[in-house]
Amino acid sequence: MTYYLSVFINGHFYLYWLLNISQSHSIIINEHSVQLGNTKDVTIMSYPVKGEHLHKHYKNQIVLNDVSLTLHEGEIYGLIGPSGAGKTTLVRILLGLEKADKGAVELFEQKPTLNAFRSLGYMAQSDALYNELSAYQNLDFFASIQGMSGKAKKQRILEVAKTVNLEKDLKKSVAQFSGGMKRRLSLAAALVHRPRLYLLDEPTVGLDPMIRRNIWTLFHYLKGKGATIIVTTHVMDEVAQCDRVGLLSEGKLIAQGAPKELMDHYGVPSVEEIFIAIEKAGDKK
Amino acid sequence: MRNLVAMAKRIIRQIVRDKRTLALLIIAPLLILTLVWFIFGAKAAEPNLAIIHYKSSDLLPAFKSSDYARMSPLQARQALADKKIDAYIDLETPVKVHLEGSDPSRNGLAMSKINKSMQIVQQINVKKMKASFTDIIHAQQKSIQEQQQTLRQMTEVMQRYAPSALTSIMQNAPKGEKPTATAAPEKVKLDVTYLHGNDDLNTFDSFGPAMVGIFVFLFIFMIGGVSFLRERTTGTLDRLMASPIKNYQIIWGYMIGFGLFVIVQSFILTCYIVYVLNIYTIGHLLDVLIIVFILSFSALSLSILLSTFASNELQMFQFIPLVIVPQVFLSGLFPIDTLPGWVRALGNLMPIHYSTEALRNIMIRGTRFEGWWFDGLILILFSVVFIVINILVIRASRPVVD
């Protein structure tokens, strides 16, 4: 059952992509039949990710301390905090790559299953690419294990490569890529199967401002298509572009909300200073 | 199924595009085996020997001039010091051997050759003794004949003067039995037959089966282990785990992808040692291939398992002295029957031990399935156990409900 649902979902998204990015209209007609019926009811889910009372520790170091977090459909959620605050661990636990000591994770309002991963795009801090392979072969592999095949796969790979501006470098081996190109290819690999939910761990680290802006434009575009994005970042001007942010400090989610509201609430001019404001408030107590 | 194909295809592409790995997988074992073949397959050189004080010696025929140089004592001593000869023999009685002595294997060669000559020396001595015995016997026979002559004359005299006394003497006389001619003992000659192999079987022929196992295992272990380790360290394994691929598909994808290369590698390697190096084999090529293939699977599954305990390539290679080297020594390359029980038990835990046993059965003893099914089964069991543990390890790090 879940498998068919995900086929519906993919079909639905496929349509979006083709309408907006691809000039080719030949396949859309085929996809129309898939879009009929209850597709709309299925795709509208209020909580793509939900983590409740998550605890995690390594040896005697507490990494996450009672973190609860719920994402809404179609929002960009920024997870910010100093290094070692537990951002990556939180993302990995939400993904099901790590097990929380306590607490529960739900993906698309049910316990995580392999099928839920079909609608999930993950980009780790490391590029996670096969250096021996060409860019095309990398995307081909990740698309294949996400269940894509044939012409649709090929077309989608070219599409995604265009999105991240790598369409001319598809034949090159990844070993010859620069850091920025690898980062973009890594992002393309997370996009290739048209997920509904993106978990991106520092997607723009080490990229020049131009590419960074393009990537954020892409995020807004994806959001416009109904995707939910959770992104960890250090860069504060990116924080302002998030719909909501969660401030993670020493394993605790110390504040959560729209950047503007948070700044107003604490009476500070930037999100960075919220950390300082909260710290001061804690000292006073 | 589609995921398996995608995994296998990716691994094949990775190996094909990485020319170094490809070369290491296929050419390196051939190079090393060729080297081993030269070292162990070469016929041992004849020892250089000399004799001194030979002129007056009647042992000279035992030491042919083609095998033993004739030298004066001074020359011989000099040649020995210069390592031109390995030993010289002083033919004065008692015969003395002087060895160069710095290389045990050359000492052994020289001694075995000298011992052969000494057998001829003994034959010469026996002949000499035989000749002197014959002389003594002839002399005795002569004196006996003379005594008989006198006796006959005495008997004649007694018959004439006291016949009654003679009859009583004759009756009491011991009946002499005529000595029967004893048959000459047959010449002792060993008639050697071989149940397996023949007298041309050299060290390489018996090492070969073990060597094939060791090198296939070593190279698959290195490449498979590092390849899976990279999957872990570069984060691609995380990406896989955040995809709908199933745990067993990751492991089996690896098995299949590498398996195809292993088939190619085993085929080239086996054909090379059988047809180019001409290793002694009376078994079927197919049986050899099957064993090499099964062995590679256990090497691959073991390397994937051990890569879990390594956090970088160096740590992966640290397993080689721990996993490969003991197998070299306990796999049947050297006899282990006299080792303590626990060492032999350790040998029984090693995959190469079984492949060597199976390959010896096939190549030297020429058995078919009935000769290697047990060893093959154990190798498959090794792989199955390692694969199951691998899948469990991945499952443990992936808390998703299936």
Q: Is any Cβ of chain B less than 8 angstroms from the Cβ of A149?
A: yes
Which has more confidence, A33 or B213? B213
| Domains of chain A listed by start with CATH number | 45-108+196-285 (3.40.50.300)
User: Would you say A263 and A271 are in contact if contact means Cβ atoms under 8 Å apart?
Assistant: yes
Listed by start position, the domains of chain B span 2-41+202-396, 49-162
Partner-chain residue, chosen from A97, A115, A144, that has the shortest CB–CB distance to B242: A97
Tell me, what's the pLDDT at A16? 42
For residue A22, pLDDT over 60 is answered with no
Tell me, what's the pLDDT at B44? 64
For residue A17, pLDDT over 70 is answered with no
Q: How confident is the model at residue B180 (pLDDT cuts 50, 70, 90)?
A: low
Its pTM surpasses 0.80:
no
Tell me, what's the pLDDT at B302? 93
For residue A94, pLDDT over 60 is answered with yes
Q: Is any Cβ of chain B less than 8 angstroms from the Cβ of A97?
A: yes
**Percent of residues, chain B, with pLDDT higher than 90:** 16
Partner-chain residue, chosen from A120, A137, A144, that has the shortest CB–CB distance to B242: A120
B235–A128 CB contact, under 8 Å: yes
For residue A38, pLDDT over 70 is answered with no
Q: How confident is the model at residue B61 (pLDDT cuts 50, 70, 90)?
A: confident
* Interface predicted TM-score (ipTM) of this complex, two decimals: 0.77
Which has more confidence, B58 or B293? B293
A99 interaction partners in chain B (CB closer than 8 Å): 399
Q: Is any Cβ of chain B less than 8 angstroms from the Cβ of A202?
A: no
Tell me, what's the pLDDT at B136? 93
Q: Which residue, among A97, A123, A145, A186, would best test binding to B if mutated, counting the most B CBs under 10 Å from its CB? A: A145
pLDDT digits (tens, 9 = 90+) for B381-398: 999 999 999 999 888 888
CA distance B293 to chain A (A): 26
Tell me, what's the pLDDT at B181? 60
Dist CA B380 CA B80 (whole Å) = 56
Tell me, what's the pLDDT at A30? 35
Strand A244-249 versus strand A76-80 pairing type? parallel
Give the least confident one: A45-59, A86-100, B15-29. A45-59
Structure tokens at A253: 């989610």
Structure tokens at A17: 């992509």
Residue that has been written with the tokens 């290739």 in this structure: A192
CA distances B135 to B48, B144, B193, Å, are 40, 14, 42
Partner-chain residue, chosen from A112, A142, A147, that has the shortest CB–CB distance to B239: A142
**Most confident residue range from B158-167, B194-203, B300-309, B369-378:** B300-309
B18 interaction partners in chain A (CB closer than 8 Å): 132
Which has more confidence, B222 or B191? B222
Partner-chain residue, chosen from B2, B7, B246, that has the shortest CB–CB distance to A114: B246
Tell me, what's the pLDDT at B330? 84
Q: Is any Cβ of chain B less than 8 angstroms from the Cβ of A33?
A: no
For residue B200, pLDDT over 70 is answered with no
User: Would you say B383 and B364 are in contact if contact means Cβ atoms under 8 Å apart?
Assistant: no
Dist CA B241 CA A145 (whole Å) = 11
| Mean pLDDT across A149-162 | 91
Q: Is any Cβ of chain B less than 8 angstroms from the Cβ of A127?
A: yes
Question: What residues contact residue B224 under an 8 Å CB cut-off, 6+ apart?
Answer: B254, B258, B299, B300, B303, B304
Tell me, what's the pLDDT at B289? 86
Tell me, what's the pLDDT at A39? 39
Structure tokens at A269: 């001019």
Partner-chain residue, chosen from B2, B7, B238, that has the shortest CB–CB distance to A97: B238
pLDDT digits (tens, 9 = 90+) for B94-105: 788 888 888 887
Tell me, what's the pLDDT at B385? 95
Q: Is any Cβ of chain B less than 8 angstroms from the Cβ of A177?
A: no
For residue B108, pLDDT over 60 is answered with yes
CA distance A134 to chain B (A): 9
| Mean pLDDT across B71-76 | 85
Q: Is any Cβ of chain B less than 8 angstroms from the Cβ of A1?
A: no
Q: Is any Cβ of chain B less than 8 angstroms from the Cβ of A136?
A: no
Dist CA A254 CA A252 (whole Å) = 6
| Mean pLDDT across A47-69 | 85
- Torsion over CA of A255, A256, A258 and A261, rounded to 10 degrees? -40
Nearest chain B Cα to A150, which residue? B2
Structure tokens at B282: 């009376």
Strand (E) or helix (H) holding B171: helix B163-172
Strand, coil or helix: what is A245?
Answer: strand
Strand (E) or helix (H) holding A66: strand A61-70
Tell me, what's the pLDDT at B307? 92
Dist CA B33 CA B106 (whole Å) = 25
Q: Is the peptide bond before B185 cis (omega within 30 degrees of 0)?
A: no
B398–A142 CB contact, under 8 Å: no
Partner-chain residue, chosen from A99, A129, A144, that has the shortest CB–CB distance to B6: A144
B311 interaction partners in chain A (CB closer than 8 Å): none
What are the residues of chain B with a beta carbon less than 8 Å away from any beta carbon of chain A? 2-3, 5-7, 9-10, 13-14, 17-18, 234-236, 238-246, 397-402
Dist CA A53 CA A152 (whole Å) = 41
B245–A129 CB contact, under 8 Å: no
Tell me, what's the pLDDT at A36? 35
Angle between helices B163-172 and B104-161 (to 10 degrees): 150
Q: Which residue, among B238, B246, B261, would best test binding to A if mutated, counting the most A CBs under 10 Å from its CB? A: B238
In DSSP terms, which residues pair with A255 in a beta bridge? Answer: A247
